[in-house]
């Protein structure tokens, strides 16, 4: 994937002390900076793409950062060694005293990162992680990965897949990706998770959600959620939703004068024939036959 980042920035009091080195990879641009910042120096940065800043030296006592320009002194915080900035999030910096620094900038193509993460954690969790800012100070593992990547940027000696795998590992190590709670669920959803899921889906009224949306509600990846959901309910998420929608259709058939076609449309079935087919599979008879039988029993 040919990719070059889009970024607006302005600095005052910061000068580059060595030639900038960079490499363009599949969906990533890696840039090495050596610079010196004067006391009172400032910077403003805004990127259309998600990015990572990694400092090879501790600058937390020298640099403050903020996502708000107003009242910088009150709203700022120390610059961490590893910072993930989501796309479209502005960043202001201010230097307290003169210092030199070395850092790695990783500019990321959003779709490339999603393609890397989604098979393991699911697209919903990957998209959520990309929207969350991250700032870490204690980063020994990331430091080792960043130094390997910096060496390759300075002196390319391997296939691009080597550097791309390092970038992928840095992304996976830094982004806020919750662990799969396999041990806590014991292969099944907890009652608390089921209650949370039911409360959300009941509020929709038609029991129509994607597996990704259901998984996100209980904080699991799509693949793991699908597995433990079936272990918990005996049905796949789709089968379970269809059963719930049929139960809701029975309620409407018994308590209203709505036609079968109207009920089908209200519950998101493609048409009356679709509802009839699913209803017969689950209940054993058509909606019209079920309604007539119920009316006879109540007579």
Tell me the average pLDDT across 215-219.
Answer: 82
Q: Is residue 85's pLDDT more than 60?
A: yes
Predicted pLDDT of residue 158: 92
CB neighbours (10 Å) of residue 97?
12
pLDDT bucket at 22, cuts 50 / 70 / 90 = very high
- Domains, in order of start, for the chain: 7-174 (2.60.120.10), 182-298 (1.10.10.60)
pLDDT at residue 255 above 80?
yes
Query: Average pLDDT, stretch 89-114?
Result: 94
pLDDT greater at residue 123 or residue 161? 161
- Beta-bridged to residue 85, according to DSSP, are 51
User: Any residues with CB less than 8 A from the CB of 29 and at least 6 apart, and which?
Assistant: 3, 4, 5, 22, 23, 106, 107
**pLDDT number for residue 214:** 87
Share of the chain above pLDDT 90, in %: 51
Q: Between 202 and 11, whose confidence is greater?
A: 11
Coil, strand, or helix at residue 38?
strand
- Residue 128: is its pLDDT beyond 80? yes
Tell me the average pLDDT of the chain: 88
- pLDDT tens for residues 172-190? 999 988 665 444 445 678 8
- State the helix-helix crossing angle for 140-154 and 160-174, rounded to 10 degrees: 150
Torsion, Cα 247 248 252 253, to 10 degrees, reads -30
**Nearest-angstrom CA–CA distance, 33 and 37:** 12
DSSP assignments along 210-272, one per residue: -HHHHHHHHT--HHHHHHHHHHHHSS-HHHHHHHHHHHHHHHHHHH----HHHHHHHTT-SSH
Torsion of CA 110, 120, 176, 199, to 10 degrees: 100
Q: Which stretch, 70-79, 98-107, 221-230, 278-287, has highest mean pLDDT?
A: 98-107
The span from the first CA to the last CA of the chain, in angstroms, equals 69
Q: Is the pLDDT of residue 101 over 50?
A: yes
Q: What is the mean pLDDT of residues 24-38?
A: 94
């Amino acid at each position: 994937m040919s990719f070059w980042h889009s970024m607006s920035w302005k600095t005052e009091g910061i000068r580059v002390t060595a030639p900038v080195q960079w490499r363009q990879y599949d969906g990533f641009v890696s840039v090495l900076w050596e610079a010196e910042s004067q006391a009172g120096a400032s910077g403003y940065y805004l990127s259309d793409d998600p990015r990572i800043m990694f400092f090879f030296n501790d600058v937390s006592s020298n640099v403050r950062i903020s996502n708000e320009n107003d009242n910088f002194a009150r709203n700022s915080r120390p610059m961490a060694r590893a910072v993930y900035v989501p796309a479209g999030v502005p960043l202001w910096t201010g230097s307290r005293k003169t210092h030199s620094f070395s850092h790695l900038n990783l500019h990321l193509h959003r779709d490339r990162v999603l393609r890397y993460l989604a098979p393991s954690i699911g697209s919903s969790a990957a998209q959520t992680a990309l929207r969350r800012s991250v700032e870490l100070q204690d980063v020994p593992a990331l430091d080792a990965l960043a130094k390997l990547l910096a060496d390759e940027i300075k002196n390319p000696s391997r296939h691009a897949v080597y550097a791309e795998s390092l970038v992928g590992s840095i992304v996976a190590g830094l982004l806020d990706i919750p662990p799969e709670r396999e041990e806590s669920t014991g292969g099944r959803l907890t009652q608390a998770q089921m209650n949370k899921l039911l409360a959300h889906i009941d509020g929709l009224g038609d029991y129509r959600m994607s597996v990704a949306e259901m998984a996100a509600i209980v904080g699991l990846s799509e693949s793991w959620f699908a597995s433990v959901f079936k272990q918990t309910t005996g049905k796949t998420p789709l089968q379970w939703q269809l059963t719930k929608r049929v139960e809701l259709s029975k309620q409407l058939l018994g308590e209203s004068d709505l036609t079968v076609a109207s009920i089908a449309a209200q519950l998101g079935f493609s048409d009356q024939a679709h509802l009839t087919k699913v209803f017969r599979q689950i209940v054993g008879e058509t909606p019209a036959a079920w309604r007539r039988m119920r009316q006879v029993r109540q007579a």
